[in-house]
Structure formats: structure tokens, C-alpha cells
């Protein structure tokens, strides 16, 4: 077998597994409890954002970008124009410069990485045997990979640190015609594109002996066609002046977040020319997607917590592997049947505060699931008694 791939076999006793499962009960309880405030908070956040954007859409005023009207001070405005700057950004190490809103240096080192895959088999008596296969390959990475944690670190050593790291610079002042963009709005501009260096670009003094031009940047090493561990490559990207659309509160000749009656805030920027209605609709769509992601996260958190709480049952039953598998499947089903209505009830309770009409529908669904769970448990009791006899 190749030196870059090897297999390790480990075992865990039944008692050790029970101990680990019991320790997992506390983590399971924490995850289960945390899911409730997460779900409740998410519904409040979603409604606040929805009401905020709805209010913003009804009062926003589109204005020209070539002049600042003092009459709009404190109002929510929509403006489009060219985000531009007079600043010339220069990388302090490699002396690469460009007129840009942002200048990003990406530094990567050629390093060893370790991958592993495991397969665990239950054994008669409750123990387990785990077969883990480790493999090693070389890759470019922006981060230093600590080879000290490798299983075979002595055969695959990486440098302890990277001589150059990735950085990003932002222009001090970015304008939108007569307006000045706030730092928070500038952070939203991420239309990076490669900064291609000319063939006549001089090598910086720091890498004259070991560096060479390479693609859109520099290569630091003996031969770019045959990289060695420890070699580095550095490339640059920039954000050029670009058309943007902004919805925010006008303050002087700049912008701040607009605080709505619902206590949410609006400060939107999109690349390109977009109408106010389109920007509000995009923000509402993003809010809906984020809401469902948090709902899923809360439900999964609850399910994982319940599975960890019930896991000792399947581990105890693993004395006979088939029995442990059946009990584990049953525990997973119970976790789902408890987490689903519990999540819906939590959302419904939150909606009683935020969306009382829709909450009634969720309560009905949740109660139906709980009744189904009760019926399932009643059916399971006679089956369990017959098996015991």
C-alpha cells in the first residue's frame, strides 16, 4: 500500500459506549432547550423585517444622484449611480497598486492535507469496531494546515506558518456621484475581478531571488510547473468603479440605516441599476429564505438533541446488534414525532404574538401530530408486551 494511504482499526467497548452516550444526554438537553428560543426569535425577526421592508416600500423616494437635496434629510431615499473613488490602493508587501474600491490579495501555500473516512461495525456484546482509512495529498490552501495533528505527521510535514497571508484593502472614500457611501454600504460591494499584472511588472525586492510572474500574480518557489510543499502563489483582485443602487436614510451627503416603526432597519445596496420596488422585493425574498433556514435549523437542533437524549437506549440494546438497530430506528422516529409538533407549537406561540391569525392553523396541525404520536405509542405497547412474553 502507498505510503500516502493507510488503514487504522480501533475498537470501543460496550461500557465505554454507554459512558459516552450518558455524557451526550447533557448536550442533547442543551440542544433541545436552545431550539425553542431560536425558533421563537426567528419568527419575531422575520415579522419585524417584513413589516420594516413593507413600510420602507411605501415611503421610499427615488432621487437623482447628481445633487443632494437638503429637503430629503432624514428620509428614506432610493438612488442609483456610479460607485467611484479617487483612491489608489497599493499592496504594502508586493507593491501592486490600482485605482479601485477594494484591493484583495489572495496568498496560498502548497501543503499536505489529510483526509479520512471511517466505517463502524457493531459487534456482538455491544462493542464496535471502526475501520478508518487515512489518505494524504497536496493542495493549495489560504490557511496554514497544521501537520502536527496528522496520523503520520513525520512523513507529511508542512511549514509551521505562512510568510504571506491574504489581505484586503478598502478605499477611504467611495462616492456615488454627489453622495458619499457609508462604510457599511461599501462593505456590500463585492464585485471582485482579477487584477492582471503586465508582463513588464517588476518583482518586489522581497521575492526577487525566489519569485516569478505567474498568471495574475506572483509565484514564490523554484518551479511553478512542479510545485513543492512550502511554495506560494499570490494573486490580486479588485473592485472597479461600478453602478450600484442604494436604499437608505439620507444624512447630509451620506447614508445611514433607516429605522422603521417596527424597529427594524433598512440599508440596502445592490450591484447594478435596480428600481426601489425590485430592491424591496429582493430583500423580502431573502428574508423568507433566511426564515426557513432558521426554522430548519431549529427543528434539526431539536431532533439531534432528542436523539442524543435517547441514544443510551439503543447503546444498551446493542448487546444484540439487531436489537440496537431497531431501538435506534424507533428512537429516531420518536425524536421526529416529538420535534415536529414541538417546533410547530413554538412557531405558533410566537405567531400568537406576531401573526395571531395564522397561528391557529399551526396549532391545529401540531395538535394533530401529537394525537398521532399518542396513537402510535398506544399501538406499540401491545406489540412490546407480546415480544416480552
Cell (9 digits) for 116: 479520512
Of the candidates 254, 239, 269, the one whose C-alpha atom is nearest the C-alpha of residue 65 is 254
**Backbone torsions φ then ψ of 231, nearest 5 degrees:** -65, 155
| Nine-digit cell string for 16 | 465505554
Q: What is the pLDDT along the chain (389 residues), one digit of tens a residue?
A: 345 888 999 998 988 988 989 999 999 999 999 999 999 999 999 999 999 999 999 999 999 999 999 999 999 999 999 999 999 999 999 999 999 999 999 999 999 999 999 999 988 888 899 999 999 999 999 999 999 999 999 999 999 999 999 999 999 999 999 999 999 999 999 999 999 888 888 888 889 888 999 877 999 999 999 999 999 999 999 999 999 999 999 999 999 999 999 999 999 999 999 999 999 999 999 999 999 999 999 999 999 999 999 999 888 888 888 888 888 899 999 999 999 989 988 988 887 777 776 666 766 776 777 677 676 666 655 544 554 45
- Residue pair 66/49 in contact by the 8 Å Cβ criterion: no
State the pLDDT at residue 1.
38
* CA separation for the pair 260, 369 (Å, rounded): 38
Query: Which string of DSSP letters, residue by residue, matches 90-107?
Result: E-TTT--EEE-SEEEEEE
DSSP assignments along 187-211, one per residue = HT----EE-PPPTTPPPPGGGTTTE
pTM: 0.83
Q: Which residue has the cell 442533547?
A: 28
- Per domain, the residue ranges of the chain are 7-53+286-382, 86-240
d(CA 46, CA 44): 5
pLDDT reported for residue 201: 85
Helix (H) or strand (E) holding 159: none
| Cα angle 48-50-51, degrees, rounded to a multiple of 5 | 65
Quote the CA–CA distance of 169 and 167 in Å, as a whole number: 7
| Residue 145 DSSP class | -
Can you give the pLDDT at residue 344? 87
Predicted local confidence at residue 380, as pLDDT: 56
Q: Containing H/E element for 370?
A: helix 356-388
Amino acid at each position: 500500500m502507498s505510503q500516502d494511504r493507510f488503514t487504522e482499526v480501533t475498537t470501543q467497548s460496550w461500557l465505554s459506549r454507554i459512558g459516552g452516550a450518558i455524557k451526550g444526554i447533557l448536550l442533547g438537553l442543551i440542544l433541545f432547550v436552545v431550539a425553542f428560543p431560536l425558533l421563537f426569535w426567528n419568527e419575531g425577526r422575520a415579522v419585524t423585517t417584513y413589516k420594516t421592508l413593507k413600510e420602507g416600500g411605501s415611503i421610499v423616494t427615488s432621487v437623482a444622484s447628481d445633487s443632494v437635496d437638503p429637503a430629503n434629510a432624514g428620509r428614506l431615499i432610493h438612488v442609483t449611480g456610479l460607485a467611484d473613488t479617487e483612491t489608489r490602493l497599493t499592496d504594502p508587501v508586493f507593491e501592486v497598486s490600482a485605482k479601485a474600491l477594494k484591493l484583495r490579495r489572495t496568498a496560498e501555500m502548497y501543503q499536505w492535507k489529510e483526509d479520512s473516512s471511517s466505517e463502524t461495525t457493531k459487534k456482538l456484546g455491544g462493542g464496535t469496531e471502526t475501520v478508518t482509512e487515512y489518505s494524504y495529498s497536496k493542495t493549495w490552501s489560504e490557511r496554514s494546515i497544521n501537520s502536527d495533528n496528522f496520523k503520520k505527521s513525520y512523513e507529511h510535514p508542512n511549514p509551521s506558518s505562512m510568510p504571506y497571508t491574504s489581505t484586503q484593502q478598502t478605499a477611504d472614500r467611495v462616492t456615488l456621484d454627489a453622495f458619499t457611501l457609508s462604510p457599511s454600504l461599501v462593505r456590500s460591494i463585492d464585485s471582485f475581478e482579477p487584477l492582471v499584472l503586465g508582463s513588464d511588472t517588476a518583482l518586489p525586492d522581497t521575492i526577487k531571488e525566489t519569485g516569478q510572474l505567474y498568471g495574475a500574480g506572483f509565484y514564490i518557489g523554484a518551479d511553478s510547473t512542479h510545485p513543492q510543499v512550502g511554495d506560494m502563489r499570490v494573486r490580486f483582485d479588485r473592485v472597479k468603479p461600478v453602478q450600484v443602487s442604494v436604499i437608505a436614510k439620507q444624512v447630509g451627503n451620506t447614508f445611514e440605516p433607516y429605522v422603521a416603526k417596527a424597529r427594524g432597519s433598512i440599508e440596502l445596496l445592490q450591484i447594478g441599476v435596480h428600481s426601489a420596488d425590485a430592491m424591496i422585493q429582493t430583500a423580502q425574498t431573502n428574508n423568507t429564505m433566511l426564515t426557513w433556514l432558521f426554522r430548519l435549523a431549529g427543528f434539526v437542533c431539536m431532533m439531534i438533541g432528542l436523539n442524543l437524549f435517547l441514544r443510551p437506549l439503543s447503546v444498551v440494546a446493542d448487546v444484540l446488534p439487531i436489537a440496537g438497530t431497531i431501538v435506534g430506528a424507533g428512537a429516531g422516529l420518536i425524536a421526529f414525532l416529538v420535534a415536529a409538533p414541538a417546533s410547530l407549537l413554538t412557531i405558533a406561540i410566537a405567531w400568537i404574538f406576531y401573526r395571531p391569525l395564522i397561528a391557529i392553523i399551526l396549532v391545529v396541525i401540531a395538535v394533530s401530530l401529537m394525537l398521532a404520536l399518542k396513537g402510535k405509542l398506544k399501538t406499540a405497547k401491545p406489540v412490546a408486551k407480546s415480544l416480552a412474553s
